[in-house]
């Protein structure tokens, strides 16, 4: 248990009506990339939001670095070392790229210029556009801003809700490469992905959710190799889910 | 031509500046707290009457020698701070509980109630009659002939410009100012980024209420004090905020100046001898602009939010 970054057991709850999550378990160990995949309506994003205190659970326990965080508000979790990139509306459109990054570092009172340099190194296109309003950027570059904003607190665990949704294959690969690069600096990553095959390729472990329950849990490679998973959740070979990765 | 400048253009600039100072608050409160703040006009009156208190207090000191306009300038910080404190208190007592319950329409109605309360308090303490900051006629300054500029108009325009420059500096250079713009862009994202949104809310009230209090003092300087003075200005101030685009502070400034100019200039005898619009009806110009904007361009000239 010592290397556990995040451990959520039996998460049950939703937005007030019927339960969307019916006893979901999730775990991220230090330095891991973990992907949550599954069909629409499986509760993937809801599970991630529950981890980040955006969905109140009826039952279940969430521990972050061993500490019970079930009652924590998002801003407390940011201070404890978590960061979250929502799927939509993940940037401040009227702020410049640079100001977006500064807002990511709002809780920091120390000098964070080295982190800004790090983000610009990770995403070179942002450096040239740092005085531009983030809302004017392309979809892929916006995602870079959102990603960079979340890195500003130098989190131990980064939650990414469909980071490649709506992006072209080129940008999708770029974002996944950056996910790996960030992970190599020791940041644990939990991501929800529709591009399941590509996500599992870079993930150390994966969770397959359906109708609010865990269906499969295994290493990324094992899930890719599992015929049942491929049949039901990866859509077989050569179809839409795979298109982005065929050139990789 | 010079009469046009003296009698229409300068008053248009003064009125526009007053509207702009009010519209900034309406616009930012709408963007950050997500409701139309109908007590904003009465906060303006609150500021104007705090200015009156300062004039009275200074009457008992050696500073009574100074002209009433200068005494009011000295009183501006008190009006700014006092009204901001009132606004923060009101937010705690009447708005925040409903905001927590996520019922924004109730907050709007609550702000109507607060408007009535503030006006009643002003009436209770200062009576219902018209009060002037100072009696007597003020003569225009001679130094700018043939421009006939009143001393108070110079103060109003200079202080308004200075406040807008400070606001610009605050919003673009300080951490809290940037956080205000961020929360106005997306309050949920601001929260998940770790921005201290409660602090941003307090600063929104400090700026919004403080600036409208200054507008109140200026309005009182330029006209007179009556308890309904703020309520009467609510319509043009909202028109200015909508014209500029809700949530866009620079839009609110532009909107204020445009509405002020349109109201004043609509009374110029453009056609024939009489005023184009009788002065008593000039508020109708603001109303017409607001209705037309809401129908044809609800996001305003600076692409703000939809009311």
pLDDT in tens, chain B (307 residues): 788 888 889 999 999 999 999 999 999 999 999 999 999 999 999 999 999 999 999 988 988 888 899 999 999 999 999 999 999 999 999 999 998 887 889 999 999 999 999 999 999 999 999 999 987 777 777 777 788 888 899 999 999 999 999 999 999 999 999 999 999 999 999 999 999 999 999 999 999 999 999 999 999 999 999 999 999 999 999 999 999 999 899 999 999 999 999 999 998 888 888 888 888 888 888 889 889 988 998 888 887 777 6
Confidence band of A141 (pLDDT split at 50, 70, 90)? very high
Q: Which residues of B touch A (CB under 8 A)?
A: 175, 178-179, 181-182, 184-186, 188-197
Predicted confidence (pLDDT) at residue A191 exceeds the cutoff of 90: yes
Query: Using the beta-carbon criterion (under 8 Å), do A103 and B192 form an inter-chain contact?
Result: no
Asked whether residue B267 is domain-assigned, the answer is no
Provide, as residue numbers in chain B, all residues whose Cβ is less than 8 Å from the Cβ of A94: 181, 184-185
- Name the residue facing A89 among B178, B186, B197 (closest C-beta): B186
Which pair of tokens denotes residue A196?
């399941």
Range scoring the smallest mean pLDDT among A11-15, A121-125, A204-208, B281-285: B281-285
Q: How far apart are CA B7 and CA B305, in angstroms?
A: 36
B269 in a domain, yes or no? no
- How is residue A87 annotated by DSSP? S
How much is the ipTM here? 0.88
CA distance B25 to chain A (A): 19
List the single residue in A79, A86, A107 with the smallest CB-CB distance to B189.
A86
Run of H or E residues at A27: strand A21-29
> Looking at the domain assignment, is residue B116 inside a domain?
yes
DSSP A206: E
Say which residues have a Cβ less than 8 Å from residue B230's Cβ, sequence separation at least 6.
B40, B41, B42, B43, B44, B45, B46, B48, B118, B119, B216
SS3 A128: helix
User: Does residue A129 carry a pLDDT above 60?
Assistant: yes
How many folded domains does chain B comprise?
Answer: 1
How far is Cα A33 from Cα A202, in angstroms, rounded to an integer?
Answer: 7
Identify the residue with better confidence: B280 or A119. A119
In this prediction the pTM is 0.90
Chain A residues interacting with chain B (CB cutoff of 8 angstroms) = 52, 54, 74-75, 78-79, 84, 86, 89-95, 99, 102-104, 106-107, 149-150, 153
**Residues from chain B contacting residue A45 (CB–CB below 8 Å):** none
Q: Is residue B80 part of a domain?
A: yes
Does position A177 have pLDDT exceeding 60, yes or no? yes
CATH topology of domain A1-70+157-163+191-248: Rossmann fold (3.40.50)
At residue A121 the predicted structure's pLDDT band, cuts being 50, 70 and 90, is: very high
Q: What is the mean pLDDT of residues A146-167?
A: 95
Chain B: give the shortest CA distance to residue A97, in Å: 12
Residue-number span of the structural domain to which B191 is assigned: 22-228
**Who wins on pLDDT, A100 or A248?**
A100
Rg (CA), chain A: 17
Do the chains contact at B175 and A106, CB–CB below 8 Å? Answer: yes
């Amino acid at each position: 248990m010592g290397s556990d970054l995040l451990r959520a057991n039996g998460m049950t709850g939703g937005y007030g009506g019927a339960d969307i999550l019916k006893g979901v378990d999730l775990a991220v160990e230090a330095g891991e990339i973990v992907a949550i995949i599954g069909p629409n309506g499986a509760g993937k994003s809801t599970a991630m939001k529950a981890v980040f205190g955006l969905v109140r659970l009826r039952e279940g326990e969430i521990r972050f670095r061993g500490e019970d965080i079930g009652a924590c508000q998002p801003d407390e979790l940011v201070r404890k070392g978590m960061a979250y990139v929502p799927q939509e509306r993940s940037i401040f459109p009227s702020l410049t790229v640079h100001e977006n990054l500064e807002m990511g570092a709002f809780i920091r009172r120390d000098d964070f210029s080295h982190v800004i340099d790090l983000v610009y190194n990770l995403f070179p296109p942002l450096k040239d556009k740092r005085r531009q309003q983030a809302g004017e950027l392309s979809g892929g570059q916006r995602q870079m801003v959102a990603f960079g904003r979340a890195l500003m607190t130098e989190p131990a665990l980064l939650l990414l809700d469909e980071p490649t949704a709506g992006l072209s294959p080129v940008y999708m690969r770029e974002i996944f490469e950056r996910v790996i690069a960030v992970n190599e600096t020791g940041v644990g990553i939990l991501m929800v992905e529709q591009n399941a095959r590509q996500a599992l390729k870079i993930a150390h472990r994966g969770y397959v959710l359906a109708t609010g329950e865990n269906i499969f849990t295994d290493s990324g490679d094992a899930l890719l190799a599992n015929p049942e998973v491929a049949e039901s959740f990866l859509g077989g070979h050569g179809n839409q889910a795979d298109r982005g990765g065929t050139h990789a | 031509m010079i009469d046009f400048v003296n009698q229409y253009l300068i008053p248009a600039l003064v009125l526009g500046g007053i509207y702009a100072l009010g519209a900034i608050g309406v616009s930012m409160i709408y963007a950050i707290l997500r409701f139309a703040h109908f007590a904003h006009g009465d906060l303006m009156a609150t500021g104007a009457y705090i200015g009156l208190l300062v004039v009275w207090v200074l009457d008992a000191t050696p500073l009574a020698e100074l002209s009433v306009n200068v005494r009011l300038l000295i009183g501006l910080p008190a009006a700014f701070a006092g009204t901001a404190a009132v606004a923060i208190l009101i937010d705690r007592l009447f708005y925040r509980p409903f905001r927590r319950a996520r019922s924004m329409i109730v907050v709007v109605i609550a702000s109507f109630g607060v408007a009535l309360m503030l006006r009643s308090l002003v009436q209770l303490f200062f009576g219902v009659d018209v009060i002037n900051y100072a009696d007597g006629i003020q003569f225009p300054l001679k130094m700018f002939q043939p421009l006939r500029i009143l001393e108070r108009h110079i103060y109003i325009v200079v202080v308004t410009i200075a406040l807008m420059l400070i606001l610009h500096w605050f919003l673009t250079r300080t951490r809290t100012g940037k956080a205000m713009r961020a929360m106005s862009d997306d309050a949920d994202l601001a929260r998940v980024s770790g921005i201290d949104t409660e602090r941003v809310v307090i600063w929104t009230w400090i700026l919004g209420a403080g600036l409208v209090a200054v507008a109140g003092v200026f309005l009182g300087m330029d006209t007179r004090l009556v308890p309904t003075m703020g309520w009467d200005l609510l319509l043009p101030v909202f028109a200015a905020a909508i014209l500029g685009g809700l949530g866009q502070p620079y839009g609110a400034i532009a909107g204020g100046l445009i509405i002020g100019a349109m109201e004043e200039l609509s009374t110029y005898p453009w056609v024939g001898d009489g005023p184009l619009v009788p002065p008593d009806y000039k508020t109708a110009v603001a109303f017409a602009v607001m209705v037309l904007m809401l129908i044809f361009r609800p996001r305003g000239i600076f692409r703000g939010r939809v009311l």
